[in-house]
Amino acid sequence: MERSQILRAVIRKQPGQSFLLDVDCQAAPGFTILFGASGAGKTTLLDCIAGIARPDAGSIAIGDRVLFDAVKDINLPTAKRRLGYVFQGLSLFPHMTVEQNVHYGLSRLTSAERSSRTAKILQAFRIADLAGQSARTISGGESQRVALARTLVTDPDVLLLDEPLAALDAPTKSTIIDDLRQWNRDHQIPILYVTHSREEVFALGERVLVLEAGRIVFEGTPHEVMAAPRQETVAQLAGFENVFDVTVQEVHPERGTMLCIISPHRPPAYGTSGSVWLETPLVRAGVGSKLRVGIRAGDILLATSRPGGLSARNVIAGRVTALEQRDVIVSAHVNCGVEMEVSLTLAARDSLELTPGREVWLVIKTHSCHLMRN
Amino acid sequence: MTIDWQAFRLTFELALTVSAILLVIGLPIAYWIAFSPRRWKFLVEAIVALPIVLPPTVLGFYVLVALGPRSPLGHWWISLTGHTLAFTFTGLVIGSILYSLPFAVQPFAASFASVDRRLIAASATLGASPLRTFFRVIAPLSLPGLITGAALSFAHTMGEFGVVLMVGGNIPGVTRTVSIDIFDRVQSSDYAGANATALMLLIFCFVILAVVYGVNRKAWIITGTLSSGA
Amino acid sequence: MSCMNLREADTGNMKSFLCSMLIAFTLASVLPSAKAQAKTEPAPLVVAAAADLSSALKEIADNYQKKTGVEVKLSFGASGALTQQIENGAPFDLFFSADMDYPRQLIASSHADGATLYEYAIGKLVLWAPADSPLDLEHKGVDVLLDPSVKKIAIANPQHAPYGRAAVAALTHYGLYDQVSSRLVLGENVGQAAQFAESGNAQVGFVALAHAVAPAMQGKGKYWIVPVDAYPPLAQGVVVLAQSQHKKEAADFLQYVKDNSDVLKKYGFTLPH
């Protein structure tokens, strides 16, 4: 059987939510990451491919095998689609043992073949010692390995994974990711992996499809996503903690910059004029255009006295409203007319003696302001 | 003051027959109610629930008159079997099946519906046909509901009175059930006999239900915490 | 709770609404009974009667209401069942039984007034079959029961219905009881036995003559009057009950029945002399 098959899906579905799922995508053998916020339609998309949900229009095929075609009225039942689907959370059969769960999909094989295949995959996922245990009594990480084993032992043509690692801790996650990668090297099939975790995207992703409100807004490698994010979802993926709506006030083609004003949200801090100006790189937009700006928390410098002689074009006064410590990073929330999040080291916080209420200045380079269409 | 044991045996036979039949016909109906996407499902649910609110005399009336020898349906039945449905054990069984239907179907359907849909979806993605999914996944996880439905229809039929009164004809060994026996004794002022029989029925039903719920509790522990959600 | 202490706020509006509803409801439940006592309406009579009187007594009661304005509420059933209900406190004023024993039982247990016991009619037992039945009742009489097409014979339950006892007596008298006993189906009262026969579920039934000649049954069946020597006479007695709150009105109605006994004759009852 031809193993290097491409999954093609054209799906339109009105799932009863506010938006329409409308995608046209392809997944070659290997990992394709489906990234998006909750409710963006990722699970619905997987359900359509699996045959659990029925699209209103479109077609789904793996290589030459048609799974669904609205025009020709083909709708293969789930059981005949020969794919694997690992759900988020528990889906092991609680009334069966681990071994019974794993060989559930192998009922058509002879008893001998079934036992040998089951034993092999239990070994591969390092859960052979759990074989006789009831599925209710094993831990979360073990459960997901069993779920993966159960799905992969049936040798599916396509693998669908819906946030399979969501409830697990970091070490467990990374061992399972390694197992998956190893398995992917040995069996080249399209793997659609849904996640909203940036780390998993970069750990697994060969290709990323970003889904927002039912539409694919970006397709490419994880690095391409980092380079020039245009939509907010993508911005989140690429790690922009600060995203603002701005209006272009002045355009300076000779300088290669634009002046934008951020619409203020809060009463301005003492000593500020009340609105925040940002000098950003020049893009093709006229005065009055409404755009979006993304600035990474790690790209903003903090100063406790007004700095001078800097190359940075944006020096903004503000007041610290809160300080949050996460591991070895400190997140400072500063009100400068709008609220900005700034990342510092613990050492920096201590040496600047930062406390809430302290007056500070924010330093932002022009090129740290990434412009996005609204 | 002797207890009519024949009535007890007859009533037990009736209850057993009815709950066995309800297990067979109730499961497909309950499956359909639990999983069908049809928009007019609520009509079927209402029909199934009717016997709960209708007085048993309505059912008795239909068995007697609408299925009697004067109606085309009754005429056909007589040509098939040689006698009417009334005054026979079969007539009681049919009347009781209709009367106890919701007591079986509703617990069945509720427990099917409470099986985590993802388990059913998982079974399908692993290549199992709907039949296999039912027997390997849905039924084992709905065991508490199945046991409850069978127990309720059994107990409900043990206490069946209205339909039996309407169409039974009070024939000893054939249609004189325990509830009719008690009624007769009270009407003849044989309070001692009525009391003894009623007490016996109470104890009998209590023991059966206690055993069933005891077994059910064990089944619930195995399946209960996991078949809904998480 | 005081409605007067409410402040005029939005929640206050809700509270005052509920308050006025409560007052209205209380008034509504108090006033009608006050109103009722102001009117002088005769109290209705509640009468328990044997099933065979279902047509005859209804007609008499209707006429009585037209004449005097007194409503007579009728409850029909097996005499034994009704006796048992009365002994357990059922609020009847009068009891028309289908025999004399049950009224005597009530007198003995002090539930009925012995002085009022009166034999108001003699009932007759008939063998009834639907009009389209092939059975030749007119010529064969009780021998039709031996016909192989007779699978079920309906009678009232002899344990608590006088007509059932009479049917069993008649069958014994004709030496047929053992042959037919396995084919008997028992109705709760003679009315249900008639219904079994009328619906065709039983091929024949021993019912009251009163049923056979009732307007509702006209033309629906044929019957054979069982000779009176085959069973103890169905002397039917009536008593006023001890617990009745309207003994005078009950006696008045009873007198009316005695005076209008030709209605009973119309329904096949014989009058005692």
A94 to B140: CB separation less than 8 angstroms, yes or no: no
- Of all residues in chain C, the percent with pLDDT exceeding 90 is 50
Torsion of CA A127, A132, A134, A135, to 10 degrees: 30
Reported as a pLDDT band with limits 50, 70 and 90, residue B87 is confident
Chain B contact present for A151, CB below 8 A = yes
**Paired tokens of C18:** 């509920």
B121 to A50: CB separation less than 8 angstroms, yes or no: yes
Q: What is the pLDDT of residue A3?
A: 42
Please name the amino acid found at residue A328: V
C199 to B186: CB separation less than 8 angstroms, yes or no: no
Instruction: Give the tens place of pLDDT for each residue, C37-65.
Output: 445 567 889 999 998 898 899 999 999 99
Chain B contact present for A154, CB below 8 A = yes
Distance (Å, whole) CA A87 – CA A79 = 16
> Which of B87, B186, B189 is opposite residue C152, by nearest beta carbon?
B87
Whose tokens are 């008997």? That residue is C184
Q: What is the pLDDT of residue C8?
A: 45
Count of alpha carbons within 13 Å of A284, Cβ hemisphere only? 0
Q: What is the pLDDT of residue C240?
A: 94
Q: What is the pLDDT of residue B226?
A: 38
Count of alpha carbons within 13 Å of B139, Cβ hemisphere only? 10
Reported as a pLDDT band with limits 50, 70 and 90, residue A1 is very low
CA A220 to chain centre: 13
Which whole number is the average pLDDT over B205-211?
Answer: 87
* Chain C neighbours, 3+ Cβ pairs < 8 A: B
Chain B contact present for A78, CB below 8 A = yes
Using the CB atoms, write b or e for A79-114: b if 16+ within 10 Å. Answer: bebbbbbbbbbbbbbbbbbbbbbbbbbbeeeeeeeb
Is it the case that residue A198 has pLDDT exceeding 70? yes
Chain A contact present for B207, CB below 8 A = no
B197 or B60: which leads in pLDDT:
B197
Q: From chain B, pick out residues whose CB is under 8 angstroms from the CB of A136.
A: 225-226
How distant is the Cα of B134 from the closest Cα of chain A, in angstroms?
A: 13
CA-nearest residue of chain B to A153? B126
**Paired tokens of C211:** 């049923």
- Of all residues in chain C, the percent with pLDDT exceeding 70 is 87
Instruction: Give the tens place of pLDDT for each residue, C123-141.
Output: 999 999 999 889 888 888 8
Q: What is the pLDDT of residue B60?
A: 81
Classify residue A349 by burial, with Cβ atoms within 10 Å: 0-12, 13-18, 19+: middle
Please name the amino acid found at residue C164: G
Which whole number is the average pLDDT over C160-188?
Answer: 93
* Chain B neighbours, 3+ Cβ pairs < 8 A: A, C
Handedness of CA C62, C63, C66, C67 (dihedral sign): negative
Is B206 in contact with B214 (CB distance < 8 Å)? no
Q: What is the pLDDT of residue C50?
A: 92
CA-nearest residue of chain A to B141? A95
DSSP state of A299: G
Residues 6+ apart with CB under 8 A from A271: A317, A359
Which whole number is the average pLDDT over A103-113?
Answer: 90
Distance (Å, whole) CA C189 – CA C99 = 13
Q: From chain C, pick out residues whose CB is under 8 angstroms from the CB of B4.
A: none
Whose tokens are 């990992």? That residue is A31
Is it the case that residue A270 has pLDDT exceeding 90? no
Q: From chain B, pick out residues whose CB is under 8 angstroms from the CB of A77.
A: 124
Handedness of CA B2, B7, B13, B18 (dihedral sign): negative
Chain C contact present for B170, CB below 8 A = yes
Distance (Å, whole) CA C259 – CA C243 = 25
How distant is the Cα of B127 from the closest Cα of chain A, in angstroms?
A: 4
Is C157 in contact with C188 (CB distance < 8 Å)? yes
Reported as a pLDDT band with limits 50, 70 and 90, residue C226 is very high
> Which of C81, C160, C201 is opposite residue B68, by nearest beta carbon?
C201
**ipTM, two decimals:** 0.76
Distance (Å, whole) CA B22 – CA C216 = 40
Instruction: Give the tens place of pLDDT for each residue, A313-342.
Output: 899 999 999 998 877 788 899 988 888 889
Residues 6+ apart with CB under 8 A from B142: B108, B111, B112, B114, B115, B223, B227
Tell me if there are at least 3 CB pairs under 8 Å linking chains C and A: no
Instruction: Give the tens place of pLDDT for each residue, C142-171.
Output: 899 999 889 999 999 998 899 999 999 999
Q: Which of A65, C129, A155 is nearest to B69 (CA)?
A: C129
Distance (Å, whole) CA C247 – CA C252 = 9
Chain A contact present for B67, CB below 8 A = no
- Of all residues in chain B, the percent with pLDDT exceeding 90 is 48
Reported as a pLDDT band with limits 50, 70 and 90, residue B136 is very high
A171 or A278: which leads in pLDDT:
A278
What is chain C's mean pLDDT, rounded? 86
Q: What is the pLDDT of residue C176?
A: 93
Tell me if there are at least 3 CB pairs under 8 Å linking chains C and B: yes
CA-nearest residue of chain C to B88? C185
**Which of B125, B143, B225 should be substituted to probe chain A, the one whose Cβ sees the most A Cβ atoms within 10 Å?**
B125
Q: What is the pLDDT of residue C3?
A: 40
Which whole number is the average pLDDT over A240-250?
Answer: 84
Classify residue A331 by burial, with Cβ atoms within 10 Å: 0-12, 13-18, 19+: middle
Reported as a pLDDT band with limits 50, 70 and 90, residue A185 is confident
> Which of C80, C157, C200 is opposite residue B170, by nearest beta carbon?
C157
Helix ranges (DSSP H) in C154-189: 162-173, 177-180
Chain B contact present for A108, CB below 8 A = yes
Instruction: Give the tens place of pLDDT for each residue, A287-298.
Output: 888 888 888 888
Pick the range with the lowest mean pLDDT from A76-80, A226-230, C56-60, C149-153: A226-230
Q: What is the pLDDT of residue B173?
A: 83
Distance (Å, whole) CA C151 – CA B85 = 12
Please name the amino acid found at residue C168: V
**Paired tokens of A92:** 């092991």
Helix ranges (DSSP H) in chain B: 5-35, 41-53, 56-61, 72-81, 89-113, 117-125, 130-133, 139-141, 143-158, 162-167, 178-187, 191-227
Distance (Å, whole) CA A220 – CA A238 = 13
Distance (Å, whole) CA A79 – CA A68 = 13
Tell me if there are at least 3 CB pairs under 8 Å linking chains A and B: yes
Report for A183-197, B14-28, B196-210: range of highest mean pLDDT: B14-28
Is it the case that residue C1 has pLDDT exceeding 50? no
Q: From chain B, pick out residues whose CB is under 8 angstroms from the CB of C78.
A: 187
At A343, phi and psi to the nearest 5?
A: -100, 135
Please name the amino acid found at residue C83: T
Chain C contact present for B189, CB below 8 A = yes
Distance (Å, whole) CA C214 – CA C58 = 11
What is chain A's mean pLDDT, rounded? 83
Q: What is the pLDDT of residue C30?
A: 59
Pick the range with the lowest mean pLDDT from A183-187, B44-48, B215-219: B215-219
Is it the case that residue A269 has pLDDT exceeding 60? no
Q: What is the pLDDT of residue A99?
A: 92
Reported as a pLDDT band with limits 50, 70 and 90, residue B46 is very high
Is it the case that residue C6 has pLDDT exceeding 50? no
> Which of B125, B132, B136 is opposite residue A83, by nearest beta carbon?
B125
Q: What is the pLDDT of residue A346?
A: 87
Which whole number is the average pLDDT over C268-273?
Answer: 85
Instruction: Give the tens place of pLDDT for each residue, A118-169.
Output: 999 898 888 889 888 998 898 888 888 899 899 999 989 899 998 888 777 7
Is B50 in contact with B98 (CB distance < 8 Å)? no
Cα maximum dimension of chain C:
91
A91 to B223: CB separation less than 8 angstroms, yes or no: no
Is B175 in contact with B88 (CB distance < 8 Å)? yes
**Paired tokens of C68:** 């005097």
Q: What is the pLDDT of residue B68?
A: 76
Reported as a pLDDT band with limits 50, 70 and 90, residue C207 is very high
Q: What is the pLDDT of residue A100?
A: 93
How distant is the Cα of C200 from the closest Cα of chain B, in angstroms?
A: 6
CA-nearest residue of chain A to B128? A79
